[in-house]
Amino acid sequence: MILLTGATGFVGNALLNELVMRDQRVRVATRYKMDKLPQGVDQCLVEDLSVNTDWSASLVGIDSIVHMAARVHQMEENPQDSLHKYRQTNVEGSLTLARQAAASGVRRFIFMSSIKVNGESTLPGKPFLVEDPPRPVDPYGATKLEAEQGLAAISSETGMELVVIRPPLVYGRGAKGNFQTLGNWVKRGIPLPLGFINNKRSFVAIDNLVDFIITCIHHPKAGNETFLVGDGKDISTTELLRKMKQATHKSTCLVPVPSGLIVLLATLLGKRAVAQRLCGFLQVDISKARALLGWSPPVSIEQGLRGALMNEHDKL
């Protein structure tokens, strides 16, 4: 049986539904009772994700854990004020679960980390590799790295297999954050000054990430490995918006404004970080996942965007 934490989140809920579709036995550990739990799925309530959490009831009969629950990145938080909150959940909470899991005989622990462990940007043509030195710059990335290191120590001490997955931006129906903002702009037909961005960025469709997680649950070679995952094709912000236009059949005007000017104006408006995400490079190399696990993304970017952005009536 698989124990899933974070089942109420965007990725966790998609993973839960796919596991059920594949006839996997699943137990979810949540703080609150889920109203629409798929038939046949067990549920255990836990108070929180902290150093004091008792996971004993949740771990009975569990072979593998997919740990997705976390304190997520908050764009407007003061890093110094929030670091201890991230650490309590992402580090102490995760290590507590892992220690109890190892003691209960859990075979494999899959940890959903983040590309933010590697850093915020890459040089042109120099994608992140698994072997690159970690360079997190915010509390979310820093505590994900701390958790990875602590989990690796527990794995080494106990023999419980550890799999670490670091995805870039995940998109799909129901995604929030930057993807939702861009999608809303395109759907409204708002003219955007993003028609001349020549960067490259990696993304991962929710269907691709879910498929990869399930591969890591079962594949014998995934144990004690760290993976970067993505769609396998890097595109510019301008290309992304064009594909969004095609997926939504909208005629949004993309005005060709140089990226340097966008960054300058955004900096003057106090939005430099936003401009850097729109104009900068962030690429990941997924060759390890391809070579070691024989995995390839089952969904193309175009298919992923259509699934994420089309209206419900368009599916009928």
Q: Which residues are catalytic?
A: 140
- Confirm if 27 and 6 have CB atoms less than 8 A apart: no
Find tokens 């001349």 and name the residue.
Answer: 196
DSSP string, the chain: -EEEE-TTSHHHHHHHHHHHHTT--EEEEESS--TTPPTT-EEEE-S-SSTT---HHHHTT-SEEEE---PPP-TTS-HHHHHHHHIIIIIIIHHHHHHHHHHTT--EEEEE--GGGT-S--BTTB-B-TTSPP---SHHHHHHHHHHHHHHHHHHHH--EEEEEE--EEESTT--HHHHHHHHHHHTT--BS-TT----B-EEEHHHHHHHHHHHHH-GGGTTEEEE---S--B-HHHHHHHHHHHHT----B----HHHHHHHHHHTT-HHHHHHHHS-B-B--HHHHHHH----SS-HHHHHHHHHS-GGGG-
Q: Residue 126 has which token pair?
A: 């120099």
